[in-house]
Chains A and B, each alone.
Chain A
Amino acid sequence: MWLGYVTYERKHIDPLSFNSQVNLARIAGMTPPILLRVSNFKAYVWDVDDINILRSHHHICGILTGTLPHLSSQNIFLGLPLQLMPEEAVLLLENGIAVLVDDPSAHHIPSPSALKLWKEARLDDARQQIALTEEKGSIEASNPDRAMSENAKRKRKEREERRARAKADTAPSVTAEDSPSPHPTSENPSQPAIGEPPDSAIVMPSKSYTVNIPASSSNLEWYAPHSHASLTIAREAGIWLYPSTLQERARCGVFRDLWEKGYYMGGGIKFGGEYLVYPGDPLRYHSHFVASVIEAPDAALRPMEIVAHGRLGTGTKKAHLLCEWNDETQVVSYLSVEWAGFG
């Protein structure tokens, strides 16, 4: 025999979890539930602090899926939103850590007065920014001796001169500091001013400022989330259906059981299983197991699968974990497969 399998039941996988469980319950009781924004039956987290709480206190990782602003040509590290696996969302909901929010209907139509307020805030912000830049520019101009060496000073002077020249070339007319130019913005050449400016006080300044595209809607005045606190309520509202089949129930059951043992879980599709099981935060620790879910005790398992799982798991320095869900007793039993490698 050139290959053999060690199979054994793992009764107690991790002893570290009990204490942290108690802690979790305390924290969950204290803080208001986290809002999971649901659209198209997918759950997202949009608040960085919420992501922190989920990760640090509840060891729920999710997966970042958005484009990171200013670092938008790479796929190594992505940004908001955090997309949760459906199992994670179900677990958070059932434990009262989070509630579901139907996101498309939470964005109401803003009233004209709300829009006006928003516009004024934006205008204020732009003016402040321009003032800040000018202030900063003047501070630097009045205090040029901060530079350390003669060489640096000389270089700085050259740079400033160049900048001044460029400025004079491009914008010779900008002289008025306090009042923004009275004509409407030049940023809209294709559209000849929608409606004449009624009161010329509200006009965007023509100088360059920063436009912010808000990531989260929480600060918008017309965003009014309505939370669904349980799976049944969410299902009746038609925003969340998971778990609806035996396979999905099995996945939720296995996920919950591993989570209660204190593990962190990630998606395991690249390793031929349902989850990767980490002993600590995936940021710092390698995963020990690839878990695959078997939905019923009498579900067929082909020997080829065991060979493939054993081979792949060993090749990636992980043990494969077969997690068998019993839907009647709601109990998970585990079986790990390793390549024994005798001779």
Chain B
Amino acid sequence: MRIHCTKRSRNIGTVRPVIPKRGEKDFEPAPGGGSGLQVHVLDRARAAMFDALKADRAISSKSASYGIWCPQISRVHVTVARGIHFSVMGHSAARPTSIDNGPTKLQKRLELLPEEALYLIERGALFCWKDIQVDLTGLDDIEGAPMSVQQAFAEIIGKEDLTLEKYQVFAYLRRLGYVVTRTDPPSPSYPVPPPRLGSDGAPLSFCRRLLSIFSLFTTSVLRFWRGSFNWWRPLRISRWIHHDKSYGKVLKSLRVITAGHSVTPHSSRATPVAPSSPYKIFYNMYKPSTNFRKTAPPQPDFQIVVINARTAFVPSLYELTELFNVLPEIPPPLPRKRGAPPVVQSSPAAVVSPVHTSTFRHLFSWLLPSSTSQPISSQPRPHPFAALKAGKKNIVIAAVDSGNISFFRFSQGAFEEWPTL
């Protein structure tokens, strides 16, 4: 057997690879395949690279996890779970298990999705057996055919909607420490974030209405008190006489071309987005700092679409609209305070909407014309350009061209909500 004849150079501690350092590149090789120095430097660079590639995937037997790859259900059943990886990966699923060759019973067990299993194998954290129909008596701790990383690549990719591109994005983000989960649960037992509440619920709109009444009232009183005439607001709209009128509504009724993202783009076809469109949200992503509990995952920080850059086109307006329709609105970015530590953003629901805040500030500017003694409002006013740039909704699109991953962020800016007057 030649499995373990690899260099066992010093002791059980393995040779740790080092990332080869690359110096300054040259413009081009000298005629005839490069000068002596160039050839020498190139050979050394190549040797360093291949040395790093030759490193063994070796783990201590005390920290190795074990699992069984079951191709029929596209899951890896984890028999021994060790290490921190299982705090963000794997879910429990009930599977019928026969006890002592007797009756079958539903038993909960820890299972990994294909991408999670492959990532752990690649990292050298999981030793995976393949479930085979061979009599294994007399081979006590052998639970199937031992899998190499190569076999895992060949057999695990392609299962449960996992393409190579999707795996590469998963591994890329996991290597950086992000927590990545599936958006659509591949099985009912897979934990997903709770469904989002409607963004404009009844309480908010009621609150807003109340505020608008108040603001109209105060402005008219103040106008009377200050004896000025506002040329920008020539109409005197009284809430009590004109039942349902306000400047916003008057202007809106004058608007010929509708604006805003609530209007769906027109299409001659009934279903402008083909069902085969690659623009479907695949992963939920959490920042490494998120307090992630895998049994009850919170709302994701980002959602990711993975496409193959060789076959997919730039997303159409319809595809983007369809993506944004399911995404939550995010609060506008807060202005950065100079010298102060960055403000920790609270959850989306707690942040006052921009319209709300602006009305509030507007009110105060009327009340107290000298802006020096302004009371500090709870939220600093977001900068309109920053808010436009960040957009209200965000989607990350990962375009993979045979191993090259590029991340793009598409966001939906709302120009109609930030009048620049």
Which A residues form the contact surface with B (CB < 8 A)? 15-16, 20, 37, 39-40, 42, 44, 46, 48, 51-52, 55-56, 62-77, 79-81, 83-86, 103-104, 106-107, 109-112, 115-122, 124-126, 128-130, 132-133, 136, 184-185, 187-191, 193-195, 197-199, 202-204, 208-217, 219-222, 267, 269-270, 279-281, 283-286, 288
Contact = CB atoms under 8 A, between A and B. Distances in A.
Nearest to A109: B132
B60 A118 contact: no
Interface in B131-150: 132-143, 145-146, 148-150
A120 B50 CA distance: 30
B59 A211 contact: yes
A267 B404 contact: yes
A209 B176 contact: no
A195 B141 CA distance: 9
B343 interface: no
A210 B57 CA distance: 10
9 contacts: A65-B168, A110-B145, A118-B1, A124-B4, A130-B12, A184-B140, A203-B140, A212-B57, A284-B42
B374 to A, nearest CB: 46
B42 A68 contact: no
Interface string B8-23: 1001101011111010
B389 interface: no
Given A37-B154, A67-B171, A269-B309, A117 B1 contact: yes
Contact of A126 (B38, B61, B127): B61
Contacts of A84: 402
B3 A219 contact: yes
A44 B138 contact: no
Contacts of B122: 66-67, 69, 72
Contacts of B32: 16
B38 A284 contact: yes
Contact of B157 (A39, A115, A116): A39
B80 interface: yes
B79 A190 contact: yes
Contacts of B119: 67
A68 B17 contact: yes
Contact of B2 (A86, A124, A219): A219
Given A16-B32, A66-B149, A197 B53 contact: no
Contacts of B26: 280, 284-286
Contact of A112 (B8, B19, B134, B176): B134
A252 B220 CA distance: 74
B165 to A, nearest CB: 10
Contacts of B29: 16, 279-280, 284-285
Contacts of B1: 117-118, 120-121, 221
A202 B8 contact: no
Contacts of B58: 69, 210-213
B28 A285 contact: yes
Contact of B19 (A77, A129, A212): A77
Contacts of A283: 22, 42, 45-46, 49
The 6 closest A-B pairs by CB, nearest first: A63-B403, A121-B1, A103-B154, A125-B4, A39-B154, A280-B29
Contact of A269 (B168, B177, B401): B401
Nearest to B165: A42
Given A189-B80, A210-B58, A215-B150, 6 more contacts: A75-B175, A185-B141, A195-B140, A197-B140, A212-B57, A213-B57
Contact of A79 (B53, B134, B151): B53
A121 B50 contact: no
Contact of B175 (A37, A55, A73, A220): A73
B158 A116 contact: no
B155 interface: yes
B61 A208 contact: yes
B33 interface: yes
A216 B149 CA distance: 7
Given A44-B153, A190-B80, A68 B52 contact: yes
Contacts of B28: 279-280, 285-286, 288
Contacts of A221: 1
B11 A133 contact: yes
A300 to B, nearest CB: 16
Among B17, B18, B42, B124, the one with the most A-chain Cβ atoms within 10 Å of its Cβ is: B124
A210 B14 contact: yes
B149 A215 contact: yes
B55 interface: yes
B199 to A, nearest CB: 35
A28 B380 CA distance: 69
A103 B32 CA distance: 39
A243 B123 CA distance: 34
B175 A107 contact: no
Contacts of B55: 68-70, 79
A16 B35 CA distance: 13
B123 A67 contact: yes
A208 B64 CA distance: 11
Contacts of A125: 3-4, 8
B233 interface: no
Nearest to B149: A215
Contacts of A194: 136, 140-141, 143
A216 B148 contact: yes
Given A69-B55, A118-B146, A40 B163 contact: yes
A208 B62 contact: yes
B60 A210 contact: yes
Contacts of A280: 26, 28-29, 34, 38, 42
B138 A184 contact: no
Residue with the highest number of chain A CB atoms closer than 10 Å, among B4, B33, B46, B168: B4
Given A115-B136, A211-B60, A72 B175 contact: yes
A67 B153 CA distance: 12
